[in-house]
Each structure stands twice: as structure tokens, then as C-alpha cells.
Amino acid sequence: MIYPKKLSSKKGDLIFKTFLISSVILGLLLVIINKLTMPEVPWAALSNAGIIYIWITVFYSIKKNTNIAGHVMIQAIAISFLTVFIDYKLGFQKWSINISIPIIIIIANATMLILTIVSHKKFIKYAIYQLIIVLFSMIPVILISENIIENKVLSIVASSISILNLILTFFLCAKDVKAAIIRKFHI
């Protein structure tokens, strides 16, 4: 005998699909119950947003061979969207864009800074996520220019921290950045 008796092709797929279908059914059930009981309060939409957020987190953690900076990035973006959605569903009093998103950006950048200082040799692994976080951190600037934000100070602080963070990390790792650019952009 040259093969084990029971070969398996990872039951993981089946479990994953079962959970995914269960989530869809649960989401639909919540909408129906919401419509039948308290149609004036959109709690099912909030619950479903929570389910989607959990799935984004789970899917990203399972599927991707991602480093810690990738998780910081995805969490920053996903939580921001979640807060905006909740704010919107509760009458859009703008607390999400005035307070939540700037705070999320500051925390994400602080985390990235700590990561860079603690292990600046790994910066190259974080670079692309750092760049995306910086781009994401520019959203408050756009919102300020469009006069959507009332509390400008917090947003300006958040975006500035993000740019400073990027400059600092580039100074710390200039050589590695050059090598990485050659590798990443070879044709």
C-alpha cells in the first residue's frame, strides 16, 4: 500500500460554504423579522453590516498570507465603513466622519509607526499597506474641502500624522525601499 486509506481534500471548504450560506439565511431572516416587528428602526441593516464586517475580517484572515500591517489596513478600512453605515442608518449626524474616522486613522498610523520602529527591517513587507493607509487617511482632507466635516481640527491632525508617518518611515528605510522598487517593478 503506497497511499493512506482515507485521503481528504480539506473539509475546510465545506465548513466555509456552510457558514457562508448560514450567514446569508440569517441575514434574510433578520430583515424579515425587522420588517414584521419594528419597521421604523432599521436594526436588521445594522446587524447585517456587522455580519459583513465579520466576514471581511474572517475571509481576509483565512485567505491571505498577510502580515500584521495588512490586518491594520483592512481593519481601519472595514471599521470606518461600518461606522459610516451605522451613522447613516441612525440619521447621519456625522459623528462617524467627524470623530470616528479621524480617530481610526490616528490609531492605524500609530500602530504602523510602532511596527516600523520595532522592526524597521520588515518595513518593506509593510510598505504597500502603509501607502494604502496614507491614501485612506486623505479622505478627511477631501471631506474638509467639500465642507462636509464640521470638526476640522481632528481630521487635519489625523491626515498630517499620516503624512509625517510616511516621510519618517521612508527616511528610516530608504535603501530597502530602492531595492524593493527594483524587485517589485521589474518587467
Binding residues vs another protein (CB under 8 A):
1-5, 7-10, 13, 65, 179, 183-187
Query: Shortest approach of another protein to residue 139 CB, angstroms?
Result: 23
Identity of the residue, 8 or 147, whose beta carbon is nearer to another protein in the bound complex: 8
Q: Report how far apart, in Å, the C-alpha atoms of 35 and of each of 54, 84, 161 are.
A: 23, 23, 44
Residue type at position 165: N
- Distance (Å, whole) CA 69 – CA 56: 16
Identity of the residue, 21 or 181, whose beta carbon is nearer to another protein in the bound complex: 181
Identity of the residue, 39 or 183, whose beta carbon is nearer to another protein in the bound complex: 183
Query: Shortest approach of another protein to residue 165 CB, angstroms?
Result: 23
Identity of the residue, 6 or 153, whose beta carbon is nearer to another protein in the bound complex: 6
What sign does the dihedral 178-160-79-90 (CA atoms) show? Answer: negative
- Distance (Å, whole) CA 107 – CA 99: 12
Query: Shortest approach of another protein to residue 18 CB, angstroms?
Result: 14
Residue type at position 95: W
Query: Shortest approach of another protein to residue 23 CB, angstroms?
Result: 22
Query: Shortest approach of another protein to residue 149 CB, angstroms?
Result: 33
Identity of the residue, 153 or 182, whose beta carbon is nearer to another protein in the bound complex: 182
Burial class (CB in 10 A: 0-12, 13-18, 19+), 112: buried
Instruction: Give per-residue burial for 54-75: e unless 16+ CB within 10 Å, then b.
Output: eebeeebeeeeeeeebbbbbbb
